[in-house]
Structure 1
């Protein structure tokens, strides 16, 4: 493990340019269908060290291609790094990269940063990567719940954590243990990171089961839970989803937008209040949702992307305007049988990309050889 001092040194080298970088760390969508392209694959087609290793994993039930599905992604230069949650058994790697320059009909998954980091039961390795976030300084934050086979018979292999990787080097720079901030009933679902005006690094994690946002000051090594008002969970089910999205305002300040899938309204809170440890009187009600809304991502500026549950249309809302359907712009429609699970920025190409799949079929176990997945330019 790299010591905290090294981590801070890495961050302080670039901290002076954070505000300039984050101002430009966003994408302007230009809808030009003739330029659209996709990287596609079915199930989990991995790049193995050798045939013997592949056979060993298959014969031992540790590799079942149809059980592999990518649900979240980030783009780094010519690669997409994808989260492959261990919803079911047989997922040999829970974090992998895919080349955006793939020329074949099936893209290969390459375990990221390497095979040894994917070992189930080894708590220094990744157990179940359910979300990831690439910050403006090219630090990748990976949320690992520590629980595998969540759609079959859930097994806790290790404590929950957030792992920070430098995507320029592939090196581990920090592991944040979350045990002290969680309970046995916690359901950790989304992670984002942010920098305070004085250069401190914070991560925010949604805990749907306890109606809370976990806040961790990486710079000082201190974390706490911010319990949200009961009003945000009105009408929600016990197994609901608590979505997070980080938005950047024109003045450089940031806020978190959040909502439960079954919740009737969308909310926000300025990150400065989260950093101060209190949400009392600080949560802002943005307005009524038309129906169940799935938050898909942001452009790292003021734009939020979302779709409605079970529907293929992806909308863009600029948070500098009121939360009103008249301000929702239709920007993408998924192919038949596919739904978007993440919208992410592709900075090299100055475009947004959509990660989509036939996720409902996967959940129902009706994907045949595996889920059809694609990273498509919006």
Structure 2
């Protein structure tokens, strides 16, 4: 029961839902006038999850065996390439047939059907060569899709560790698995892996960073050397934190080509950063910058793959943009999106084809309470304002 309660609380907090499930309707900063959206950019909405099964009999078999329960499907993270969106569908409850899918965002699309990515075989529960529960995903500059698989299913019911945690890299051009990185030797039984970042060093070397909230650590894996290590963060990072709830990480890219990792726990009062060159070398002592006090419990939901971080306040439906080239102060937080339905945004991602930012949002609090009827209402919306 302790595992269930702890995992459930961490999940609630990770999505920025207050334990009381009370949503704030107001704003501290006001809202900018929305820019004119790209003519091809349209929001798409769906309920629950519908999948492209090999045939009708397969769908019937999945339903009758409890392997497909549409209302238990919810997308929490996304990545876009052209007209294709890749979605993480964590296996929070039973009945999620695929945990990594893709679908179409072409103009005029009237329905959303999920196609398991890259194939059905890689979605099998209990098969440690397959994906168990994808909680985050990243597309890098080489159009490689990286996914973080915790190996734990049924998080909101009775959590079961099916397989060790891993990061899997796939080519979006061919759908082939390029690399599987086992995190078993870099984690413990208490680890809570939450977010994934992919970084490239000046010499072209590829590095993966994963936040481990329970162990106050960032896992660093050097793909070229095929080895990894943990950078344990100083206790100051969790100062004032009643529990190690959610460890958000966001990678910022400077115009000069350098990168920097920003991080914070949901319930701590401060935001920190560390230059990637120090993180890659495993030398963090004395190199971490204290950027100052947060004005609220910030939920970091993404970046523009440049210098901007997007966030919202815990339980609030409005999204703000902070350019990290400016000081970390409320006067530099620019409102860029307000959900008209009070849905909560879980990810902000660039849509390069349409030159805009997208937001993935849903009625996650209702999903948490299992009060979604036919399923959670999810939407890939368009960011407003001068972002």
Q: TM-score, normalised by structure 1?
A: 0.90
Alignment of 1:1-378 (within 5 A): 31-33=35-37, 35=39, 37-101=42-106, 103-238=108-243, 240-378=245-383
Equivalent pairs, count: 349
Gaps of at least 5 residues in structure 1 are 1-29
* Alpha-carbon distance in structure 1 between the residues aligned to 2:84 and 2:288: 37
Q: Distance in 1 between the 2:194 and 2:141 partners?
A: 21
Give the Cα–Cα distance (whole angstroms) in 2 for the partners of residues 199 and 356 of structure 1: 34
Following superposition, the deviation at residue 197 of structure 1 comes to 0.8
Q: How far is the alpha carbon of 1:101 from its aligned partner?
A: 1.3
What is the alpha-carbon distance in structure 2 between the residues aligned to residue 209 and residue 255 of structure 1?
22
Q: CA deviation at 1:264?
A: 0.6
Secondary structure at the counterpart of residue 362 of structure 1: helix
Tell me, in whole angstroms, the C-alpha distance in 2 between the residues paired with 1:363 and 1:239.
Answer: 21
What is the Cα deviation at residue 335 of structure 1?
2.4
Question: For 1:360, what is the secondary structure of its paired residue?
Answer: helix
Contact 1:338 1:357 in 2 (8 A): yes
Could you tell me how far apart the structure 1 residues matched to 2:48 and 2:301 are? 22
Q: State the shift of 1:363 in Å.
A: 0.9
Structure 1 stretch displaced more, 234-243 or 184-193: 234-243
| CA distance in 1 between partners of 2:174 and 2:242 (Å) | 42
Question: In the TM superposition, what is the alpha-carbon distance from 1:105 to its structure 2 partner?
Answer: 4.0
Matches of 1:258 and 1:327, distance apart in 2:
18
Q: The residue matched to 2:214 in structure 1 has which SS?
A: helix
CA distance in 1, matches of 2:146, 2:54: 26
Hey, what's the Cα distance between the residues in 1 that align with 2:351 and 2:38?
17
Instruction: Name stretches of at least 5 consecutive residues in structure 2 with no aligned partner.
Output: 1-33
CA contact (8 A) 2:38 2:356 kept: no
2:325 partner SS: coil
Q: Check the 8 A contact 2:262/2:274 in 1, yes or no.
A: yes
Question: How far has the Cα of 1:231 moved from its partner?
Answer: 1.1
TM-superposed CA distance for 1:33, in Å, is: 4.8
| Whole-angstrom distance in 2 between the partners of 1:296 and 1:335 | 18
Contact 1:249 1:301 (C-alpha < 8 Å) held by counterparts: yes
> How many angstroms does 1:106 deviate by?
3.1
C-alpha displacement of 1:103: 3.3
Q: Deviations over 1:254-288 (max 9, x none)?
A: 01111111111111100100111121011111111
Q: Distance in 2 between matches of 1:159 and 1:121?
A: 11
Describe the superposition over 1:327-349 as per-residue Cα deviations: whole angstroms up to 9, x where unpaired: 11111111223110000011111
Normalised by the length of structure 2, the TM-score is: 0.88
Partner Cα distance (2:218, 2:35) in 1 = 35
- CA contact 1:39–1:102 (8 Å) conserved in 2: no
2 CA distance for matches of 1:337 and 1:365? 18
**Retained in 2: the 8 A contact 1:40–1:105?**
no
Task: Give CA-to-partner distance per residue, 1:298-324, whole Å, 9 cap, x none.
Answer: 011000000001111100100000011
- Match in the other structure for 1:19: none
- 2:4 aligns with none
